[in-house]
Chains A and B, each alone.
Chain A
Amino acid sequence: AQKVTQAQTEISVVEKEDVTLDCVYETRDTTYYLFWYKQPPSGELVFLIRRNSFDEQNEISGRYSWNFQKSTSSFNFTITASQVVDSAVYFCALSEDNNAGNMLTFGGGTRLMVKP
């Protein structure tokens, strides 16, 4: 069965600091997809990125970057030069390719607070 663990329940940083959110996953499948979602105070989950299990290239999008390492089953998310607007709960999620339901398995989330 698949499982996603986000060990950091809450992180507090001061604006302009860099911050890394950790995500560790478990799956028996060789083909799977990893996602990061942002949940601002409004409650709506916002899709940030998707990675498939065969693509270990790191990705950068503006201030956001993702580090996918199959050897350690991790998919970490780094925000560079954090801003107050980055304050939200961030969820890492996993979907297995043989999962007939295509459901997402979420981690418990990391609440990020960026203080001015």
Chain B
Amino acid sequence: GAGVSQSPRYKVAKRGQDVALRCDPISGHVSLFWYQQALGQGPEFLTYFQNEAQLDKSGLPSDRFFAERPEGSVSTLKIQRTQQEDSAVYLCASSVAGSSYNEQFFGPGTRLTVL
């Protein structure tokens, strides 16, 4: 596709449910990032992939959060046993190479609401 796509766009979960959020990066982009954006705040880094390798997961808030990118393209962010504090917009971004210089292209995000 022309840009980064994410699905679903909106997700409502009951507390304790597991959720899976999908990201389709721009074709050929090596780097993929996940960010969490709470209401009224800036995005915060969660994790980073270069191809299929997860090189940095220092931003994942707990072991309930897990991300994968098994074939180096599509990525899934999974949240187990969701809590109300997980409610946020989850943004995916990709960039053409693994350099701090490269701009990141963002998807529209998935808005997760945990009841």
Contact = CB atoms under 8 A, between A and B. Distances in A.
B52 to A, nearest CB: 16
Interface string B88-108: 010101010011111111111
B107 A44 contact: yes
Q: Contact residue range for chain B? A: 20 to 34
A44 B80 CA distance: 26
B101 A52 contact: yes
Nearest to A29: B100
Contacts of A100: 55-56
Interface in B7-40: 31, 33, 35, 40
A91 interface: yes
Contacts of B41: 108-109
Interface residues of A, number: 30
B43 interface: yes
A108 B42 contact: yes
28 contacts: A32-B100, A33-B100, A33-B101, A35-B103, A37-B106, A42-B108, A43-B109, A43-B111, A44-B106, A44-B109, A45-B93, A45-B106, A52-B101, A99-B100, A101-B56, A102-B33, A103-B33, A103-B48, A103-B56, A103-B59, A104-B33, A104-B43, A104-B104, A106-B42, A107-B42, A108-B42, A109-B41, A109-B42
Interface of B: 31, 33, 35, 40-45, 48, 55-56, 58-59, 89, 91, 93, 95, 98-109, 111
Given A37-B106, A43-B108, A97-B100, 7 more contacts: A6-B42, A33-B100, A43-B111, A52-B101, A104-B33, A108-B42, A109-B41
10 A-B pairs with least C-beta separation: A101-B56, A106-B42, A45-B106, A103-B45, A95-B100, A101-B48, A44-B108, A47-B103, A102-B100, A108-B42
